[in-house]
C-alpha cells in the first residue's frame, strides 16, 4: 500500500496510515505519509519529529537536515507576530504584553525574544549534529 493519492484523506487518516506503516517497519512508506502532513504547513511538531527519526534510521542525513530546516522555518513563522491591522484594544494589549515581557527579561530592548521556544531549540541542536555527520 504505497502513498497513493491521498487528497481525499483527512490529516487524521494520513497520520493513522503513517503510524501503521511505521509500526510495520515500512519506513519509506511512513515517510511519504508524514511528508504529506508536513506539506499542509501546519505547526504540528509530531510529523516533523517522526520524519527526522525515520531519516536518521535510514541514514538519510541530507533529508533529515531538510526536514529540520523546514520545521525551524515553519515554527519561527508561527511564533512571529501576525501582520495586519489591529484594533485599538489589540494594540494596547500588545503594548502591555511587550512591556511585561521586557520587564520580565523575556524580550530584549528591540522586542526580540530572548529565549528560543520549543521545538526550535531542540531541532537546532539536532541540526548541528546532522551537519557534522554530513561533513
Categorize the per-residue pLDDT at 1 as very low, low, confident or very high, splitting at 50, 70 and 90: very low
33-77 pLDDT, tens digit per residue, is 999 999 987 889 999 999 999 999 999 999 999 999 999 999 988
Q: Which DSSP string do the residues of 35-81 spell out, in sequence order?
A: HHHHHTT---HHHHHHHHHHHHHTT-HHHHHHHHHHHHHHHHHHHSP
What domains, with CATH codes, occur in the chain?
Answer: 11-84+119-134 (1.25.40.10)
b/e per residue, 113-128, with b = 16+ CB within 10 A?
Answer: eeeeeebbeebeebbe
Peptide bond into 106 cis (omega under 30): no
Amino acid at each position: 500500500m504505497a502513498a497513493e493519492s491521498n487528497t481525499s484523506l483527512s490529516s487524521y487518516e494520513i497520520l493513522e496510515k503513517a503510524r501503521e506503516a511505521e509500526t510495520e517497519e515500512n519506513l519509506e512508506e511512513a515517510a511519504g505519509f508524514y511528508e504529506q502532513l508536513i506539506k499542509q504547513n501546519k505547526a504540528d511538531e509530531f510529523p516533523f519529529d517522526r520524519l527526522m527519526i525515520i531519516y536518521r534510521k535510514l541514514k538519510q542525513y541530507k533529508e533529515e537536515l531538510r526536514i529540520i530546516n523546514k520545521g525551524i522555518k515553519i515554527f519561527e513563522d508561527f511564533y512571529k507576530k501576525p501582520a495586519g491591522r489591529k484594533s485599538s484594544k489589540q494594540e494596547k494589549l500588545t503594548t502591555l504584553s511587550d512591556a511585561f515581557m521586557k520587564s520580565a527579561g523575556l524580550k530584549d530592548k528591540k522586542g526580540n525574544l530572548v529565549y528560543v521556544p520549543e521545538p526550535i531549540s531542540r531541532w537546532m541542536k539536532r541540526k548541528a549534529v546532522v551537519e557534522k555527520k554530513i561533513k
